[in-house]
Amino acid sequence: MLQFVGSNHHPTALAQIDFDTSAICQGLDFDTASRVAPLVSIRNYAAKQAIFYELDPAKYVYEVVTGVLTLYKQLPDGRRQITGFLYPGHYLGLTVHGHHVHSAEALTNVTVCRYPRCKIEKLVGELPALAMRLLTLTGNELAMAQEQMLLLGRKTATEKIASFLLTMSEQNGKRDDGKTSLYLPMSRVDIGDYLGLTIETVSRIFTRLRKAGVIALGQPNVVAVNDIGRLARLADGDDTLFCN
């Protein structure tokens, strides 16, 4: 783990960053990581604060350290599609011709690492390991985007919600006493905008899943998954909620 604690470039904040597990530096050898690390600066954003907007010129590449943020696109009349919820370890700052292709907003309070884009690009030209790393990360994002395209284009509302809960429980679920418990930092509006549904539909499907015993709902933001197998079958259309 790289430690820049006390470095005059970055007085204190860096102490909290584990470059071994950071999105961009993970798996990089020490020499490569030590070229990247000094570029970093830390930024904090309060929940609901914008980090950048679609079409803005992109000066930085970011990576989530703590908290969750939302990437989204909008139509002129305000309809919104969330393209991703980003948890710690993800990087962001995709551009085409130097401009952001989506907006980014803090969902919870977040801490991000920020790297000047021009310097990262220069380093990519010098450090093949960094280039490889970014290529892998971007490829993973693309694979997720394509999975989401299948969801948005071809799945029913129930399948969408089941898929969403399944993915979230795989990535962020806490397993205690044999069941998986989930904290969802996003509102129903956000879930709807992520899955291509309205809030009412999201709410109704949650209720149906609860009544079918597949999940249990505490506070609106807490979901307990009782039957993850059933959820997996529902996600792919191998099962329907109405058969009981």
Partner DNA sequence: CGGTGCTTTGAGCATACTCAACATCAGTGG
Partner DNA sequence: CCACTGATGTTGAGTATGCTCAAAGCACCG
- Interacting residues with a copy of itself (CB under 8 A): 71, 73, 75-77, 79-81, 83, 94-96, 101-102, 121, 124-129, 131-132, 134-135, 138-143, 145-150, 152-155, 193, 195-196, 236-238
Binding DNA by CB under 7 A: which of 207, 222, 237, 238? Answer: 207
Residue 166 CB, shortest distance to DNA, in Å, is 17
Residue 14 CB, shortest distance to a copy of itself, in Å, is 26
Q: Which does 2 bind (CB under 5 to 8 A by kind): a copy of itself, DNA, none?
A: none
CA atoms within 13 A on the CB side of 145: 11
Binding DNA by CB under 7 A: which of 22, 130, 201, 234? Answer: 201
233 vs 235: CA distance, rounded Å: 5
Nearer to DNA, 10 or 188 (CB): 188
196 vs 198: CA distance, rounded Å: 7
Residue 156 in the binding site for DNA (CB under 7 A): yes
The H helix count followed by the E strand count for the chain is 7, 14
Binding DNA by CB under 7 A: which of 196, 216, 226, 232? Answer: 196
Q: Which strands make up the sheet holding 91-92, listed edge to edge?
A: 41-45, 110-116, 60-66, 91-92
Q: DSSP secondary-structure letter at 14?
A: G
Residue 102 CB, shortest distance to a copy of itself, in Å, is 6
166 vs 223: CA distance, rounded Å: 11
Residue 220 CB, shortest distance to DNA, in Å, is 4
Binding DNA by CB under 7 A: which of 152, 203, 212, 227? Answer: 203
Q: How far is CA 158 from CA 105, 201, 216, in A?
A: 27, 9, 16
Residues paired with residue 115 on neighbouring β-strands, in sequence order: 61
Which residue is associated with the tokens 């139509």? 75
Residue 91 CB, shortest distance to DNA, in Å, is 27
Nearer to a copy of itself, 1 or 75 (CB): 75
77 vs 16: CA distance, rounded Å: 41
Nearer to DNA, 170 or 200 (CB): 200
Residue 154 CB, shortest distance to a copy of itself, in Å, is 5
Is the distance from CB of 74 to CB of 144 less than 8 angstroms? no
Q: If residue 71 lies in a helix (H) or strand (E), which one and from where to where?
A: strand 69-74
Q: Which does 220 bind (CB under 5 to 8 A by kind): DNA, a copy of itself, none?
A: DNA
Nearer to a copy of itself, 224 or 228 (CB): 228
Residue 238 in the binding site for DNA (CB under 7 A): no
